[in-house]
Structures are given as C-alpha cells and as structure tokens.
Structure 1
Amino acid sequence: MYMISSILKEVLSYQSKVQVINTRWYSIILLVIFLPVGFIRQIKYLVPFCPLASIFVLFSVLVVLYNNIQDLPPLSSRQHMGSVTDIPSFFFGVLFALQTTFVFLPLRTSVKYNKHYRQCPGVLCISISIIAFMYIIFGFFGYLKYGENTNAVNLFNLNHNGLSETIKIFIILSVLLSYNFQLIGAMDVVWNNIEHKFSAKYKTLLYYVIKDLLIVSTVIIVSFSLNLFPLLSLVGSLTLSTLCVILPLIIETITFWDITLGRWNWKLYKNILLTIISFVLTTVACVKSFSKIIEKY
C-alpha cells in the first residue's frame, strides 16, 4: 500500500507539475478504491482479473529491465561487497520478499485440481524460483546502473516520461486487480477461528466487516509511517525468522523425537545449530533495523 501510494503520488505530481498533498492522503484515496474490491468473496470471480494483472506486471517488468541494462557502467565502478552487518537484514529481506508466494497456499483448498500444489516442480516451487530469479536480475543490473543511488522501489529510478508514468499506472492497476488474493490467507486465519461464534444470519455481514477492517488497518499503518522499509525489515527479521526457520526446526524435532532423529541424532544437532545461527542473525538484523528506524524518525 505504501509503494502504491508513493507511485500514485509520483504520477499525479508529474501530471500536475506540483506535489499537492502528502503521501498519507493518497493512501486514503486508495482506501476508497480498495474497499469495494474487498466485497468480492468468491475466488472464481477474481480469477479472470489475474491474467490482466499479470500482463500489466510483465509489461512493466520488461520496460524496467530494458531501462536497467542500457548504458551500463563497468563492473569495476561499483563496490563488489557490502558491509557484513547488512547480511542478516539482506537475508530476512529476501525471505520477506519471497513470502508473497505464500498467498498461493490458502488457495490450495479452494481450487479443483489442487494436486498441482504437491507436484515437484509444483505451483509454489515454480513461483518462488521465478520470483527469486527476477530479484537477482533486477538487483544486479539495478545496482550496476545506479550504484548507491538505487531506489528501494525500482520504478522510482526511471526518468519521468510518458512510458515510465504508464507502467506506474499499470503497477497500480495490477495491485488493484490482485489485492483481494493477498487478503485470502489473513481472512482464513481470522474467520475460521471466529466464524462459529456468530449466527448464520450475521455471518456474511460480519465477514465483509472484518475484511474491510483488514484493508483499513493497512491504510492506518501506512498513514502513520513516513517510511515503511525500516519497519518491514524489522518485521521480517522478527516474524520470518520465527515462522520460516525456528518454528519448523522445533516442530521437526518434536515430531521425530519418539520416532527417529537419524543416525547419531544428526537431525537434533542440525536443528540446534540452525536455531543458534538463526537466533544470531535475527538479533543482528533487529539491532540494524532498530538503528535505521531511530535514525529515520
């Protein structure tokens, strides 16, 4: 939401040649647009919009990539290695970026041919591989071209012209068309735990109320945050290290404790080692994120 608000502000500012309002107000404008989208509940009504959103994103990606590979400076002009203390933040930043593919998981129980999720390579494996490859390509050529001036949002590196403003509009439309899919996971967690507490008469109404509250909450977070990137780095360090690394290791250890932990208990020692490494990386990343937040605010 923060990125889309910033993009919308850039587009309107370019067209009007003056920055009229703060980014927070653009978030409010988007709220008016996104709230009606939240009333679409059935996935089958959302699916037709996905190819259109994908086309918008694909066109934008190709344009940005083409721009990034033009007039590249030599590799020797860029610093090849960053600071060691930035590695944990980078590690959890990558996890945070890849977690966007997890929106596919709640869809598994809602689609007709869910066996494609279990195949190898399946939907999740292929999507993560494609996204990881895109991040590598964009990160490499983006840094090679712009160096330390590389913006966290690659679109903002583009020069202001008709084409760049068009693809920014395409990105806004793609998010609008696919935003409802991002709410499916959160709604499944919330609704499945409280649905039984309400009578059938009010369930539909309450479902939409809760869904719209989730949308409003994202806008509130954006409105009270001048820059979300340090905050996202902190959230990624705390939550993803726990959910994606530490908890799976603990669950595996508990599950196989009475069955088998492998020869010489190698699974136990492996999980202990990975947990310690994850804890150290999390601590360093959190300290780094906190320092950036303090510096920013």
Structure 2
Amino acid sequence: MIANVFMGLGLGITVYYLVQELPDVSSRPQYAPIIGMPQFMSIVIFAMEAIGVVMPLENHMKTPRHFLGLCGVLNQGMSGVTLIYIMLGFLGYLKYGDETMGSITLNLPQEEIAAQIVKVLIGLAVFCTYGLQFFVCLEIAWNGIKERFSNKLVIREYFLRTLLVTLTVALAVSVPTISPFIGLIGSLCFSTLGLIIPAFIEMITFWEEGFGTGYYRIWKNVLVIVFGVMALLFGSYTSILDIVALYKP
C-alpha cells in the first residue's frame, strides 16, 4: 500500500511534466520503422517479468478462485496497470519524440526539485516492493542450498538475501544505459521462460486428457512457441547489436 502511494505520487508528478506544452500529434511519426519491431517486442516481453509472482500470490490467497476469471483480481489489477503503461508511453513519446529515454524520469528537468522528488518516490516504491518481486528467485536459490546447512538457517537465509540484493543493485548501477539490456533480457530470458517453456508444459500436461475441440490447445501453443522463438532470435540479435554500438569506442 505504501509503495502504491509513492508510485502514484511519482506518476502524478511525471504526468504533470508530460502534459506541459505538448506538441501537435501530427508532428510525431505515426509508425516506427519495421526494423525496430524486434527491440519493441523484446521490451514488451520484458514487461511480463512480474508474471513470476502470479502463482505464489494465488497460492497464498484465502480464496484462490477469485484470482483468475474475467473479473478476477489479476484482470482487475492488470487492466489499470496496462492503461497507465499506454498513457505514459503515448504522452512520453508525444512530449519528447525520438529523444525519449529508456526511463521517462531521465527526460524530466534534472535541476527542478519536483523531478528529483519523482526519482526518490519511485526509488522508495521499488524498495518497498523488491521483496515481493524477489520472492520467487530467493525461494529457488534458497531451496537449492539450504539442505547443505544444519544450523543457523535464518541467518544464512538473510545472508543470501543480502548477497543477491547487493549483486542486483550493483548490476543496475554499473549499467549506464538500460534500454538495450532490457531488450536482451526480455528476448533471451522471458521469451524462453514466459512463452516457449510454458507452452510445452501445457501440451505435456494435457497429453492424456486431450487438447480440446479441434485441438485448439495445440494450435494455440504452436503459435506461442513460434512467436517466442522469433522474439528470442531477432530480439536477441538486435539487442546485442545495440549494446555493441553503445560501447563501441
């Protein structure tokens, strides 16, 4: 709840900056070159990274059946998030055009106090929610090594938490321009873990039960796998080219 307040305030101030002296919509190109499509899809796939907390949240709910469905908790929550994504993307590009940076907060006037407050608020929001986002990674890592220890399990678990958080923060600080790396992570990791592998798992799960009328599950999963493979290949290729160009002397 506290993180939502911080994020809401930060978004409100950001939108205030974005709507100031907006240029005419016709001054911006309506379509981007097709060559930029792989990088776009890689970043879109990266936005799926929070899907890793969906099953743990559902499993810990008092009434898990309310999580899914047309009017379930997931759809209600993600509908609002999707609208915010669309609004920020539209206003951000309309305001700054091709000068729009990987994080819209980097386009805000750095010398103004309100812009600095936005960064502080978003940083606090991330600080409050990082434990939830990191829950699945930590559980996998800790379950893989805890059998090797016989005592002081709590202390060792906290040490692992601290180590992993420190490594991720150090990695974030060491990367000056994040956009190409977001695309690479999205295309390389999430296209595999979020699209290709789940499609195979569903086909294996329903192998004996059947794939539904007209084998719709097979057709659906084949399309998902093809899309995931294309995102993996083309997205990784373009992201690597962008990273090489970024650090090329």
* 2:212 is the alignment partner of 1:268: no
Q: Deviations over 1:142-171 (max 9, x none)?
A: 111111111221112222322222222222
Q: Report matched runs for 1:56-205 at 5 Å.
A: 56-100=6-50, 102-110=52-60, 112=62, 114-118=64-68, 120-159=70-109, 160-199=111-150, 201-205=151-155
Q: 1:213 aligns with which of 163, 169, 183?
A: 163
TM score, norm. by length of structure 2 = 0.88
Q: 1:280 aligns with which of 218, 223, 230?
A: 230
Aligned length, in residue pairs: 246
SS at match of 1:267: helix
* Aligned match of 2:177: 227
Q: 1:101 to 1:277 in 2, by over 3 A?
A: closer
**1:293 shift after superposition:** 0.8
AA aligned to 1:217 is L
AA aligned to 2:166 is V
SS at match of 2:168: helix
Structure 1 outlier segments of 4+, above 6 Å: none
CA distance in 2: counterparts of 1:281 and 1:148, whole angstroms? 23
Contact 1:103–1:185 (Cα < 8 Å) also in 2: yes
* Aligned match of 2:200: 250
Contact 1:142–1:154 (Cα < 8 Å) also in 2: yes
With 140-149 and 116-125 compared, the bigger mean Cα shift is at 116-125
Q: 1:245 to 1:167 in 2, by over 3 A?
A: same
- RMSD over aligned Cα atoms: 2.2
**1:260 shift after superposition:** 1.6
SS at match of 2:140: helix
Structure 2: which 5+ residue stretches go unaligned? none
CA distance in 1: counterparts of 2:214 and 2:88, whole angstroms? 44
Contact 1:85–1:284 (Cα < 8 Å) also in 2: no
Q: Deviations over 1:190-221 (max 9, x none)?
A: 2233333322x221111111111111211332
* Aligned match of 1:20: none
Structure 1: which 5+ residue stretches go unaligned? 1-50
With 86-95 and 59-68 compared, the bigger mean Cα shift is at 86-95
Contact 2:102–2:178 (Cα < 8 Å) also in 1: no
* Aligned match of 1:43: none
AA aligned to 1:138 is L
AA aligned to 2:122 is I
Q: Deviations over 1:162-183 (max 9, x none)?
A: 2222222222222222222222
AA aligned to 2:181 is L
Contact 1:238–1:282 (Cα < 8 Å) also in 2: yes
CA distance in 1: counterparts of 2:229 and 2:51, whole angstroms? 24
AA aligned to 1:239 is C
